[in-house]
Amino acid sequence: MLRIIRLIAVLTVIPLIGLGVALARFWGATPASLEGLAPAGAALTTCVTSLLGSPDASVCGEATPFGWLALGSAGVLVLSFGIAPLSRLVATVLGTHRSILSLGFWPYALAITILVGIVSLIHVGIFGGAAYLVLQHWFGVESDLLLVAIGVVLAGATYAIARGLAVFFTRPKTYIAARPVTFYEYPRLGLLVRDIAKKLNSKMPDNVVIGLQPTFFATSSPVFTPYGKGPLNGRTLHLSLPLMIHFTEGELKAVIGHELGHFSGGDTNYSMRFAPVYMGLAKASEVFSAEDRPLTRFLSMPAKLLIDDLIYAFSVVERRIGRAREHRADQSGAKVSSPEDIAYSLLKSSLLGSIWNEQVQSLVERGMKGRFSRNVVRNFSESVRLDVDRTRIAPLLQYALGDCVAHPVDTHPPTEDRIEAFGLNLGEICSEDVLLHRFFKAPKVTDGLDNMAALEEDLTALQYHLYAELWPADEDGERSIDDIFLTLLIDFLALMVTIDGSVDDREILAAETQAAQLFGNFDRDSFRDRCRSPEQIPSLDKMISFANKLLTDTGIDNLKTTLRAIARADGVIQPEEARLLDVLDASLQSEPPQAA
């Protein structure tokens, strides 16, 4: 309701200014009182009627420009208020079937966009004409400079409107921060996709790309990636690596089956025609906002709101069609796996997607401090395993059941509706025991796929490259004492965790808890990186030499306390851990600073 009120207000303000200025001109020729308002209105009406009959004559004398101002204002007012109801009517008619919508949306959007441009330019003309006539008639200002000044302002507004309309005619390119993969590189993944395609009697995707965006989708539009100059044409399947590493084989089959169902159902061809027009309108609306130019924003506001109203009218019918498409695709996913696998893939995507977004924020914050990880996907996996409060997973998912899974083109139905469509019991699906098994104990599909570690590191490098402009410039100079101490601490703790040849989650958590309490600023991600790559830990002799020079007696005592806590965390001190503790007890001792 508020949106409609705002639309009405914006569409009327400039035409009413024009009508008010014209009426004031004729009102000024009669007694300036309320009694003179009716004769002024009659005189203005007579003038406008005369202009309609004889547009080439100055039938109103020197008041003729005011008559044209009133005529233009009244005309654009009627035209503006005809566009919104027309958009709703056309959307309702076209929305009876997706084929009709995809074919009819572009011509109608084109016609309305041109009409909106004309309406907006008339608004600009009314505003400029009213300003000029007011200054000329009431203030006696007649100057070429005035015309030039008004012309410059109006030209700027006209340019902004034209630029916004031009955006609509520019087809946006689809960029995906993902790596194209071949089934020669990943044969097990290829066999999985081929098996699903056979069961669905669907064609294989022409391209498969794997990225870090926490969503799966299928598209038939040309797709650009950072790994090639030209687009990927044909059917493209996007898989999310951060989500995949937490999926079981059945859950991944359900997701891929769902996306291939979009191919076989013709959904991607429909989206290829509908989505670019829709996105073009959205970008045009964004340009019309003109946040940094208040006057231009004011003059282009009618165009923005009319475009927004067009988007809203068609989004209503598209949402209805889109929901039916998603339910049909869910049936395809269930056909190659099970309804339960569809349900848990949706629940995992909802929760893990939000956690991943937090991880990306942490990645940016660490990068701005000059701290980087070798494998952010593995960091994410460890964060889910070690840091998520498992007692909160069930209530969080129950709370989030109304969410829609993120998608770059259209709106999906709420997760709850998609699960209930299979007749599944939400209470059983969201029971704590089953959820914890699915999240943490069930075998993960990526454990059986090829070259995952290399792909994770490659996409990590891509992620850092995308944010490269945020990182501080490299500065020559020595590292700070704090950085050296933090690196040394991480090396000691990682050595204790890995010295027995295995990595125990209890030891990792003990190390992080103890280090945070005793040493404060502890980089958890760097520590976990080092635990995964113990070959990067320096020699023990070198570490001891640094520690003796760098640490005080208190610092050495705190370090030994932390290392003992790590060794005891799994309930038993292994022989390798005991020997390391003995060596450190004998060798770690603070050296007095040398005299200058």
Same domain, 124 and 9: yes
Check which CATH number belongs to the domain holding 513 and give it: 1.10.3680
Same domain, 155 and 200: no
Domain count, the chain: 3
Same domain, 516 and 458: no
Distances (CA, A) of 219 to 81, 237, 364: 37, 7, 29
Question: Which of 121, 142, 169 is the C-terminal boundary of a domain?
Answer: 169
Residue 240 φ/ψ, nearest 5 degrees? -95, 115
Question: Which of 110, 143, 169 is the C-terminal boundary of a domain?
Answer: 169
Which residue segment(s) compose the domain that 18 sits in?
Answer: 2-169
Q: What is the structure's pLDDT at 474?
A: 61
Same domain, 426 and 558: no
Q: What is the structure's pLDDT at 409?
A: 45
179 strand-pairing partners: 210
Q: Which of 136-140, 343-347, 392-396, 404-408 has the lowest mean pLDDT?
A: 404-408
The residue among 473 and 512 whose pLDDT is bigger is 512
Distance of CA 226 to the CA centre of its chain: 18
> Is residue 312 assigned to a domain?
no
pLDDT above 90 covers a percentage of the chain that reads 40
> Is residue 71 assigned to a domain?
yes
Q: What average pLDDT does the chain have?
A: 86
> Is residue 404 assigned to a domain?
yes
Same domain, 396 and 497: no
Same domain, 391 and 248: yes
Q: Which of 35-49, 240-254, 571-585 has the lowest mean pLDDT?
A: 35-49
Question: Which of 463, 497, 530 is the C-terminal boundary of a domain?
Answer: 463
> Is residue 593 assigned to a domain?
no
Same domain, 386 and 518: no
Least Cα distance to 73 among 12, 155, 4 occurs for 12
> Is residue 309 assigned to a domain?
no
What CA–CA distance (Å, rounded) separates 477 from 446?
A: 42
Same domain, 350 and 493: no
Distance of CA 129 to the CA centre of its chain: 42
Contact between 497 and 566 under an 8 Å Cβ cutoff? The reply is yes
> Is residue 550 assigned to a domain?
yes
Contact between 263 and 203 under an 8 Å Cβ cutoff? The reply is yes
Same domain, 431 and 529: no
What CA–CA distance (Å, rounded) separates 264 from 218?
A: 11
List of residues 6+ apart from 315 with CB closer than 8 A:
278, 411
Is the pLDDT reported for residue 336 higher than 90? Answer: yes
Same domain, 562 and 486: yes
pTM given for the model: 0.81
The distance in angstroms from the start CA to the end CA of the chain is 78
pLDDT (tens digit per residue) in 158-192: 777 777 777 777 777 788 999 999 999 999 999 99
> Is residue 278 assigned to a domain?
no
Same domain, 251 and 392: yes
pLDDT (tens digit per residue) in 366-389: 888 888 899 999 999 999 999 998
pLDDT (tens digit per residue) in 377-431: 999 999 999 999 888 888 888 776 755 555 444 557 888 889 989 999 888 898 8
Q: What is the structure's pLDDT at 30?
A: 53
The enclosing H or E element of 382 equals helix 376-387
> Is residue 321 assigned to a domain?
no
Same domain, 21 and 128: yes
The DSSP symbol for 232 reads: B
List of residues 6+ apart from 203 with CB closer than 8 A:
197, 235, 263, 264
The 3-class SS string of 531-591 reads HHCHHHCCCHHHHHHHHHHHCCHHHHHHHHHHHHHHHHCCCCCCHHHHHHHHHHHHHCCCC
